[in-house]
Chains A and B, each alone.
Chain A
Amino acid sequence: MKHLLSMSDLDRAAIEELLDLADHFAEVLDRDIPKVPAMRGATVATLFFETSTRTRLSFEKAAKALSADLLNFTPSTSSLSKGESLKDTVLTVQAMGVDLMVVRHGAVGAPARVASWVDCSVVNAGDGAHQHPTQALLDALTIRRRFGKLDGLRIAIVGDIRNSRVARSNIDAFTTLGASVTLVAPPTLLPFHVDSYPVATTADLDSILGDLDVVYMLRVQLERGSGPVLPSLPEYVSRFGLDRRRFLQLGKEAVVMHPGPMNRGIEIAPDVADDPRSLITDQVSNGVATRMAVLFRLLKGKGQL
């Protein structure tokens, strides 16, 4: 495996191998000195053409914990604002000597396009509404650490599925690992041709709450066009927001997840987000271990730790 561009590149065995590796790195991160020399001498560049805090920090922490060197590219301070093309930018970064690029971009397929231009490895850190594979891996890891496995779990993904790369990646990951997935959204936020997806769908969140193991809330992405397809935000919140009343209808073992950043009071009530059965901070810490696994796997192949 040279690049990680889409969850559809990974079969069940490949996902499980990465999750096992991530479990190992989670243990590393719990040590007194949470750092291993596994990638000493390697250089990782993060190129975030679309703004992000948590994903970029998470990759940078992962690279540092593996003792890799880091180059950080952010468009606002870069030559992109002077009109440089994406291709020229990535070729320039590559010429400085880079072993792996972490690329986030607002356009679908941009990381794959970058991978076709450069010689180094490329990790997709989110491309448009297409894919965000490391998010799906860290979510799968978080669920696996909680429940032991995903087989047979009932997972609802709630919100703007149509415009969500997190949803597309997670549908791939969760179903590949044996969970049954229900998409919960108004028709205008479901993907077109959703009947071709290996999932169930409903617009009635209340009717399924009691049957769920995991309720995965998505961000209302006003910046990606969730806005015009909804009558109003309050109407959305009343039907699809995870408030205390809905939270109490969940089973005793059920957990709540969210990829962040949250709109508190919109898709998730503040007290639900902060409940002990919310795994939102676990997702963040598992993210670092997961990204260590991905970086290590791409750069060192199946070599020894």
Chain B
Amino acid sequence: MITIHDALILTPDGPVPGDLTVEGDRIAALATGNADTHIDARGGWVGPGLVDLHTHLREPGFEWKEDIRSGSRAGSVGGYTALVAMPNTSPAIDAGHLARFVTDRGREAGLLEVMPAGAITMGRENQALAHLDELFAAGVRVFTDDGDGVADAGLLRHAMEYLAERGGVVAQHAEDPGLGRGGHMHEGLVSSRLGIRGLPSLAEETMIARDLALVRLTGVRYHAQHVSSAGSVELIDEAKRAGLPVTAEVTPHHLNFDHSRVESMEPCFKMYPPLRTAEDVAAVGGALAAGIIDVVATDHAPHAEHECEVPFEEAPRGVIGLETAAAAVLTAIELSAIGFFQKMSVIPASIAGLASQGQWIEEGAPANLMVFDPEAVWVPERFASKSQNSPFRGIKLKGKVMATIFAGRITHQVSS
């Protein structure tokens, strides 16, 4: 039995100060119990454990970067109790047995719930549909070729028609391969001066615009991954106003950094979509606060240290984010406790259909929760992830995860 003392508890009726007791894998009472373990929240927030719609756990195939156990560990340090694992592994998660492998490995690690996302096309090769029914039967609800956009509009249309009937979500990494070809950073003033080939905002926006037309046709639930540009925000806003079943995510790094960071040519500022202009950073932050962008997702993308000891153009794409996300979001924009947990837990859980995640705290609810000090200031240096490629290393952040509880067990706790 665990009692959390002196917490601001995020209940279905809003934040309530008090104590909370966990027994077994459930919340037993919003009161002090006869506990053997005590956590002092010191007035910090206690809400549902965070849910990441966009994590690269790298297993199977790239275990030197991360594996399901180490990624789960990083997630629990970051306050997460559920991760949606991206399918761009080797092999890609395009069939039922592969999805079950990911789920099983997540259970073995036991630190949080790992839900596999499935590929839309076989091998993520943009040629033929993946085994969508098998994946669905294995518990997959989010489908994506993340890492690449599905470029073939005809193929994507079939996937959408099929998944609309099954109730799956099509999550798109929007990047037109023609407009984005050879690009390593945002196409703009900085890329022009550096002589680095750019990836224009239009590579993202044209694909989202095309996809939204297909959503109108098929009625499928569509989720725009890692939205990075002001133009994309406008398209999504318009689609939502038109009543289309569309959601969107933004990453902590796109909320915090613009393309001027690339002047350092540090590979930990290389990601797709790239860091864009200050205007874009303001637009995605405003859209998150306003609910046009629904959720924060990390796009946690581990790469080993030696893989990053190369020139910028040769560096791998992506940065880690699980352990800094909660703080990085609050460092970038102001959110209430309710807004924070909505965007980091409640809405992502509902998009992915994770039934025992993202529930406001009340008696009988699953004991998946996290304790967060929104005022703590800290500087990340080393990470529990196997990889250390974080753009937030050495940067002062506001807000710290004090403890994480998954299925009634403490999976992370800051020693005081």
A164 and B195 CA atoms in complex are apart in Å by 8
How far is the CB of B308 from the nearest CB of chain A, in Å?
A: 10
A256 and B43 CA atoms in complex are apart in Å by 74
A131 near B188 with CB under 8 A, answer: no
Question: Known contacts A109-B265, A113-B265, A225-B182: does B192 contact A192 (CB below 8 Å)?
Answer: yes
- Which interface residue of A108, A112, A113 has the most chain B CB atoms within 10 A? A108
A127 and B311 CA atoms in complex are apart in Å by 10
Q: Which residues of B contact A165 (CB under 8 A)?
A: 195
B188 near A108 with CB under 8 A, answer: no
- Which interface residue of A105, A107, A110, A194 has the most chain B CB atoms within 10 A? A107
Question: Known contacts A130-B194, A192-B198, A193-B188: does B309 contact A105 (CB below 8 Å)?
Answer: no
Q: B312 at interface (Cβ–Cβ under 8 A)?
A: yes
B195 near A128 with CB under 8 A, answer: yes
How far is the CB of B238 from the nearest CB of chain A, in Å?
A: 27
Q: A144 at interface (Cβ–Cβ under 8 A)?
A: no
0/1 string, A166-202, CB within 8 A of B gives 1: 0010000000000000000000000111101000000
A73 and B159 CA atoms in complex are apart in Å by 52
Question: Known contacts A112-B265, A113-B265: does B192 contact A193 (CB below 8 Å)?
Answer: yes
0/1 string, B281-301, CB within 8 A of A gives 1: 000000000000000000000
Q: A102 at interface (Cβ–Cβ under 8 A)?
A: no
Number of interface residues of B (CB under 8 A): 20
Number of interface residues of A (CB under 8 A): 26
Taking CB atoms and an 8 Å cut-off, the chain B residues in 163-196 that contact chain A are 182, 187-189, 191-196
Q: Which residues of B contact A164 (CB under 8 A)?
A: 195
Query: B265: nearest residue on chain A (CB-CB)?
Result: A109
Q: A85 at interface (Cβ–Cβ under 8 A)?
A: yes
Q: A250 at interface (Cβ–Cβ under 8 A)?
A: no
Residue in A85, A108, A129, A225 whose CB lies within 8 Å of B312: A108
How far is the CB of A10 from the nearest CB of chain B, in Å?
A: 16
Q: Which residues of B contact A277 (CB under 8 A)?
A: none
A108 near B196 with CB under 8 A, answer: yes
How many CB-defined contacts (below 8 Å) exist between A and B? Answer: 64
Query: B309: nearest residue on chain A (CB-CB)?
Result: A87
Q: A86 at interface (Cβ–Cβ under 8 A)?
A: yes
B196 near A113 with CB under 8 A, answer: no
A128 near B265 with CB under 8 A, answer: no
Q: Which residues of B contact A130 (CB under 8 A)?
A: 194-196
A108 near B198 with CB under 8 A, answer: no
How far is the CB of A225 from the nearest CB of chain B, in Å?
A: 7
- Which interface residue of A128, A131, A163, A165 has the most chain B CB atoms within 10 A? A128
Taking CB atoms and an 8 Å cut-off, the chain A residues in 67-120 that contact chain B are 85-87, 105, 107-110, 112-113, 117
Q: Which residues of B contact A131 (CB under 8 A)?
A: 195
How far is the CB of B186 from the nearest CB of chain A, in Å?
A: 10
A107 near B189 with CB under 8 A, answer: no
Q: Which residues of B contact A109 (CB under 8 A)?
A: 194, 265, 311-313
Q: Which residues of B contact A225 (CB under 8 A)?
A: 182
Q: B63 at interface (Cβ–Cβ under 8 A)?
A: no
Given contacts A109-B265, A168-B195, A196-B192, 20 further A-B contacts (CB under 8 A): A85-B310, A107-B312, A108-B194, A108-B265, A108-B311, A108-B312, A108-B313, A109-B194, A109-B312, A112-B265, A113-B265, A128-B196, A129-B195, A129-B196, A129-B197, A165-B195, A168-B193, A192-B191, A192-B192, A193-B188
